[in-house]
Amino acid sequence: MQQPLVDAGAQASILAWFDARGRSLPFRGSRDPYAILVSEVMAQQTQISRVAEHWVTFMAAFPTIASLADASTSDVLRAWRGLGYNRRALNLHRAARAVVDEYGGRVPSSLEALLGLPGIGPYTARAVAALAFGQAVGPVDTNVRRVLGRMTGRGGARELQAIADAAVPARRPADWTHALMDLGATLCRPAAPRCGECPVRSSCATVGAGPSAAPSAKRLPPFPLTSRWLRGRILDRLRDLPSDGWWPVDGPIGTHQRPAVEAAVARMEVEGLLERRDDREDLVRLAT
């Protein structure tokens, strides 16, 4: 029988480290699948410190999945302010409506059903399955990919996903998920790994080898930062409007001239972030 790449000793060492050094975050005290779904969607491409603050206020605004499903798109986008990547808010809103319509307001527990929700990919589906339902599946985010890649010396995305799923201890899948994330965020860091403090340094395949030892992952093309800034400013202007207010697309924003602003507005309309007034295409507001 082949020896597992992450054995019981490594599991025990990582969990013991987590028990002593794991981060205390507000959403970790919840086992409500909806609350966990919200936190995991927020955590996509956002620093966990920002997620912690915004999760509390968002959950106060929409304490149940039914309340989120019933909310207007504009209210959800306003509540999302400060988190960025606003399409995640739309996806979360759509997922809430799908859960209410298709599952009677109860977040489904199966991985297949979770993957069928709007905007829910392999990582988020596995995170909810592990954290909310105790399933032995391994969510792989950037931190987990780096930790498992360095521990095992493996680098392929499919291979690391298989390793992650096989490494989950049956008794503590939620704690294990948090432990790997915390290990990657605090010790097994990209540029300056603190190998001397790592609980599995004695069995790590790349210990002491430095940042270059991290397996290479497929990188997405860089996001056009200026476009992201412009979209954020447009949404901020729309969020500041009263509920029945409209904003005129009538001039530059920052260094972006009107054609660039109009192009951004057109794209955001297609994505469902905003809408135009029927009788005045130059007037827009948050999608309702």
The catalytic residue positions are: 40
Structure tokens at 8: 């019981």
What does the CA dihedral 97, 103, 104, 108 come to, rounded to 10 degrees? -100
Please give the radius of gyration of the chain, using alpha carbons only, rounded to the nearest integer: 21
How far apart are the C-alpha atoms of 23 and 100, rounded to whole Å? 32
Return phi, psi of residue 276, to 5°.
-95, 155
Structure tokens at 186: 């605090």
78-116 per-residue burial string, b: 16 or more CB within 10 A, e: under 16:
bbbbebebbebbbbbbbbbbbbbeeeeeebbeebebbee
Beta-strand pair 247-248/274-277: unpaired
Identify whether the C-beta of residue 33 lies closer than 8 Å to the C-beta of residue 135.
no
Identify whether the C-beta of residue 261 lies closer than 8 Å to the C-beta of residue 253.
yes
H/E stretch holding 256 reads none
